[in-house]
Amino acid sequence: MSNVTLVIKGWYGQKNFGDDLLLAALVNALRGYVDARIVLWCRRRRYLSRIAPGARILEPWTPLRQPVAILWGGGTQFFTFPGSDKRWSDLENIVSLFLNPKRLARAPLTATQLLLHRLRAARLHKVAWRGAIGIGVGPFLEVNNQMEEKLKLLRDMNWLSVRDEESLKTCEQYGIQKAILGADLAFLHPLIGKQGAATDKIIVIPRVSPMDQEWGWWEEALQKTLRQIRPDSIEVISLCEKDHLLAKNLATRLEARLVCWDPHVMSLDAMIERLVSA
């Protein structure tokens, strides 16, 4: 199988500890069984070379050995949230881009990005095999075009392994019978499940997903409970770059220590050891 390119697609390179851990576990497992060139379809970040040594980022000019296989690996990649069907091509969104220059700079629909996306899509049009391992499916919060696109991807896969029973039930609900139940890929990491050095510490990990509409309500209840505990016994940890500000504000209000996942200065093993010690 050495003349095959395996493209692994996931939410990697986003400074999200969970997804970075999934990538490390998946690549380590695959390299023990598959003799193929591994290419990552994700955001380009320098630190990924430490988590998945030797793997390349998929670019339009990346040489791909035929045939090409795509593996959606780990994490919740198939779901929708309110507003997920928003199209950047709508007139309202186009106008808003020009009214806000910063938003224009971050817009996903620039001429260069559109060209690169089309080139990459054209190269992967004749993929020989599609599969997914350890992925989360759902919830689909509203019926829209994005949901239909995701369901079509799932139905077109040659092999589909989901990480939990809720994902399996969601697949069955939408008539996807090929799905089998596996486990979260993070459990493949050698440090997961080992007993850490016990400390008198409580770790709080605040997370807000696009689907969470009630953060304000349970954050207040959480703070009320934690204020009854000594501040030096609490450590607030942010596992995702998108949650750093939220975690910082919570740590300030609780007068607790703050630790933010930064893969440029911290290893996966160091963060795991910190988590299991609580």
- Between strands 68-80 and 202-204, the pairing is unpaired
**22, 154: one domain:** yes
pLDDT at 35: 79
Among 67, 74, 46, 212, which Cα is nearest to 127's? Answer: 67
pLDDT at 194: 72
**152, 258: one domain:** no
pLDDT at 231: 72
**88, 134: one domain:** yes
> Is 245 inside a domain boundary?
yes
**66, 180: one domain:** yes
pLDDT at 220: 75
**38, 138: one domain:** yes
**114, 250: one domain:** no
> Is 232 inside a domain boundary?
yes
pLDDT at 87: 58
Q: Domains in the chain: how many in total?
A: 2
pLDDT at 105: 53
Which of 188, 210, 243 is at the close of a domain?
A: 188
CATH of residue 152's domain is 3.40.50
15 Rama class: left (phi>0) / alpha (psi -120 to 50) / beta:
left
Which of 188, 221, 245 is at the close of a domain?
A: 188
pLDDT at 278: 84
Q: What is the pLDDT of residues 95-104, one digit of tens each?
A: 665 666 555 5
Which two tokens mark 161? 């392994």
pLDDT at 3: 81
Q: What is the pLDDT of residues 131-151, one digit of tens each?
A: 999 999 988 887 888 899 999
pLDDT at 235: 92
Angle at 239 between CA 261 and CA 10, to 5 degrees: 105
List CB contacts of 49: < 8 A, sequence separation 6 or more.
55
Which of 136, 162, 188 is at the close of a domain?
A: 188
**208, 78: one domain:** no
Q: Which segments of the chain have a pLDDT < 70?
A: 1-2, 83-121, 195-198, 209-217
Amino acid at 70: I
**128, 183: one domain:** yes
pLDDT at 119: 67
**Structural domain for 208, as ranges:** 202-276
> Is 49 inside a domain boundary?
yes
